[in-house]
């Protein structure tokens, strides 16, 4: 059993494969705080994952099983996974979400290039969001997507933006109801009624606390300027 810290939560993981240890290494915790929970993967957890992704080797199955169990446990701590590319700029975080293949990572990459040295990835694929009474904070974790882009950092979430491909660059505010549907679409849905209620309750708080936007964009500096001006400065075109 090794100790890890993600989203300010310390927990233990008992793993069977070296891949899991390697994968989690940047988040290992060496402090004195006790574990809030432990994650242990049994053979039947691997079999459940194998049904979903039969092409995976056992060590990859263990990795996704750890992530699934972690998401379940973190829900109790008011933390959710939100499928998005998240970046930090000047101390604030901006999250881009869209169905896979739309280009959220591409848009994030444009931000990093445009704000050279000022911006960095929190997590390019599956960051954790902690929703507390006043703020929403995004945290890095090792599940950073196929390009492996992410850092063990956190930042206050300033805006969430849903992307679609377009011929012009334009942005508008999204309503709370519209945002709620987007969030439900891009998060891991729990199985039990209790956990689903908890998730819905957290998403309800999230849409009250964070501004959300809908961006149509191409791949250009102008796309960055349009999304940055709206989300960071409140200027809608």
Binding site for another protein (CB under 8 A): 176-177, 180-181, 184-185, 189-193, 196-197, 200-201, 203-204, 207-208
Residue/partner pairs of 10-15 with CB below 8 Å, 24 or more apart: 10/34, 10/35, 10/36, 11/35, 11/36, 11/37, 11/38, 11/39, 11/70, 11/73, 12/37, 12/38, 12/39, 13/38, 13/39, 13/40, 13/66, 14/38, 14/39, 14/40, 14/41, 15/41, 15/62, 15/66
Q: Quick one: which of 164, 163, 173, 171 has its CA closest to 207?
A: 173
Smallest distance from the beta carbon of 193 to another protein, in angstroms? 5
Q: State which residue, 188 or 218, has the beta carbon closest to another protein.
A: 188
Smallest distance from the beta carbon of 187 to another protein, in angstroms? 11
Q: State which residue, 145 or 190, has the beta carbon closest to another protein.
A: 190
| Type and span of the H or E element at 45 | helix 43-52
Q: State which residue, 155 or 207, has the beta carbon closest to another protein.
A: 207
Q: Are strands 79-81 and 154-165 parallel, antiparallel or unpaired?
A: unpaired
Smallest distance from the beta carbon of 212 to another protein, in angstroms? 11
Smallest distance from the beta carbon of 203 to another protein, in angstroms? 7
Smallest distance from the beta carbon of 131 to another protein, in angstroms? 13
Q: State which residue, 1 or 52, has the beta carbon closest to another protein.
A: 52
Q: State which residue, 12 or 190, has the beta carbon closest to another protein.
A: 190
């Amino acid at each position: 059993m090794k100790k890890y810290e993600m989203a300010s939560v310390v927990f233990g993981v008992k793993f069977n494969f070296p891949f899991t240890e390697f994968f989690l290494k940047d988040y290992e915790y060496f402090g004195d705080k006790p574990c809030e929970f432990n994650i242990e993967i049994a053979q039947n957890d691997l079999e459940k994952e194998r049904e979903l992704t039969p092409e995976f080797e056992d060590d990859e199955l263990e990795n996704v099983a750890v992530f699934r169990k972690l998401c379940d446990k973190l829900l109790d701590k008011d933390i959710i996974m939100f499928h998005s590319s998240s970046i930090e700029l000047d101390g604030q975080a901006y999250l881009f979400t869209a169905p896979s293949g739309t280009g959220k990572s591409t848009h994030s990459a444009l931000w990093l290039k445009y704000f050279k040295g000022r911006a960095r990835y929190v997590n390019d694929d599956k960051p954790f969001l902690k929703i507390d009474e006043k703020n929403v904070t995004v945290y890095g974790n090792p599940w950073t997507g196929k390009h492996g882009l992410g850092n063990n950092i956190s930042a206050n979430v300033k805006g969430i933006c849903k992307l679609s491909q377009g011929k012009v660059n334009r942005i508008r505010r999204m309503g709370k109801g519209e945002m709620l549907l987007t969030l439900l679409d891009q998060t891991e849905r729990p199985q039990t009624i209790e956990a689903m209620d908890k998730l819905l309750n957290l998403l309800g708080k999230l849409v009250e606390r964070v501004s959300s936007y809908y961006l149509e964009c191409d791949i250009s500096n102008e796309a960055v300027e349009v999304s940055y001006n709206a989300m960071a400065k409140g200027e809608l075109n």
